[in-house]
Structure 1
């Protein structure tokens, strides 16, 4: 099993429906905060189920949702097929988007599942789709020195504030014995330092900077913004 196979199923990564709901609401609000105007065209690459995509779409002209898992795309289509502002795409479909037609690309919590060669190929693709002065936002980057304990503490804090602490504790225990742990041990997760991400984005032709805060609930992970001249 690889990461794409893993995400093409119901996974234990969320401890329950409340965790899932609050996660997607927080990410949606963070994406909305990145949208400069209602005429913005947005691509959410590796969107997951994007439960609040309709809220994001209401703030922009068009929202592309792209996910590698067919199961996830089926759920997105079922949920948002009546919304004219939302278009669901496979990763392969993204290549068909007109070049220089997208203002903002958001890639949240995906890079850890990609090889460096895969990332470099995607950076080339994403840059080709962005308009002049467009922005790429890559979020939830795992730094090399980040302890799993720190990740767990961030989740517990989010769970305490969101009212799902008990299910989060049980969820951590389930994950420890799940396919996620096995795949992570076999394949690993990509990790990048601040300097490495800035260099990778710069080599791909972006003007990079680290954002002041990460998207989502974990402040120990990092978000970077790559701007196109």
Structure 2
């Protein structure tokens, strides 16, 4: 684990203010679960949600898949997930180390949403190689919420406020924006930076890693200025 990943894992492993209130975190994970469920190819599919966070509505994915593995590097997040879904028989929780011990071809669908921006290029290349190993030959990798170089704080703010207005937490979002600007997240982001890629650059990265790739019509997250990709292992 590089220092960059270790610093971000330390952040997610502790209380934070990324989500402005309970309504925000609930609708966020509700929408992500619905998007992932839409990519599940069949009722027997083996699904990996990598960097899943709290995944509050992963049971919605489990209802349309054979098995769902939730993986997050933060120990406290995994503990919460294990407790939350202990009664759902086809949901399992795994650390990144446990994923590396799994056999090749273990998954039909791998989703990595809002992960890439927190990775160095070396970390990204390593994960792409691991995801390709874990995918079945006809499996699909979804990499979502990739940030282009021309997308910055203004775009993020507008997208959040639009999402908040639509989902009923606008007032809380206005307070939350000010709080986040002064938070440890903002300080850590300034210290470590955020990885950004053009569509062409990220497509080339996927191709070099052994995938054929296409840009999805829309982003999986709420910010339409960011990009999502569907990739398949090349023979």
**Structure 2: gaps of 5 or more residues:** 1-5
Aligned-residue CA RMSD (Å): 0.9
1:148 aligns with 2:166: no
1:62 aligns with 2:103: no
Shift of 1:216: 1.9
Q: Aligned residue for 2:182?
A: 177
User: Which of 25, 29, 46 does residue 24 from structure 1 map onto?
Assistant: 29
Q: Which runs of 4+ in 1 moved over 6 A?
A: none
- How many Å separate the matches in 1 of 2:97 and 2:149? 30
TM-score, length-normalised on structure 1? Answer: 0.98
Q: Aligned residue for 1:2?
A: 7
1:204 aligns with 2:226: no
- How many Å separate the matches in 1 of 2:101 and 2:48? 13
- Secondary structure of the corresponding residue to residue 37 of structure 1: coil
TM-score, length-normalised on structure 2? Answer: 0.96
Shift of 1:101: 2.1
Count of matched residue pairs: 229
Deviations 1:47-77 (A, max 9, x none): 0010001111111000000001011001000
Q: Aligned residue for 2:51?
A: 46
Shift of 1:147: 2.2
